[in-house]
Chains A and B, each alone.
Chain A
Amino acid sequence: AQTVTQSQPEMSVQEAETVTLSCTYDTSENNYYLFWYKQPPSRQMILVIRQEAYKQQNATENRFSVNFQKAAKSFSLKISDSQLGDTAMYFCAFMKHRGSGNTPLVFGKGTRLSVIA
């Protein structure tokens, strides 16, 4: 079974600074996808960024980027120029891919990020 570990239950960052959220995972699969989802107090889970395991290039999405280390099974999220609206719970998630289809997301326990003015 796949497991996703987020070792930082809570983090805080000053507005406009950079913060990195950690995520490690365990799998024997070779084809899979990794995601970071954001859940603000409004409750809705919002996709922040995704990474295909077969791609060596790290995904970026505006102020959000990842450091994907496949051999180390590490998938950290860097948020640059942090904004107050980034305050949320962040979940790292894993999805394995097979020829017969993908499987549902497996989530880590989450990191609560607070951006301080």
Chain B
Amino acid sequence: DQQVKQNSPSLSVQEGRISILNCDYTNSMFDYFLWYKKYPAEGPTFLISISSIKDKNEDGRFTVFLNKSAKHLSLHIVPSQPGDSAVYFCAASARGSQGNLIFGKGTKLSVKP
């Protein structure tokens, strides 16, 4: 059973607009959430993270929102740029798990010029 779900396999957005990528989780023990960006034939690159004690974390064009009661997090990219086109993975870990990350299946974002 998937503990981290990204229900949208793909998303297409116009350059300059907002991209919103969603992620749901089922394990209430998760207390640390991350977003990774991945290009083909490369390893994932860390983008932004959020601890369960927060509900928002912002870094430049990237903002992650966490709704613990809904077990839902989202990544907002604004304004979107063509270079943002990649696969975005949501990941989560639970304290005491040695930091093992559980990944979603990813959402492929395409930003059109």
> Do they bind each other?
no
Please list the residues of chain A having a beta carbon within 8 angstroms of any beta carbon in chain B: none
Please list the residues of chain B having a beta carbon within 8 angstroms of any beta carbon in chain A: none
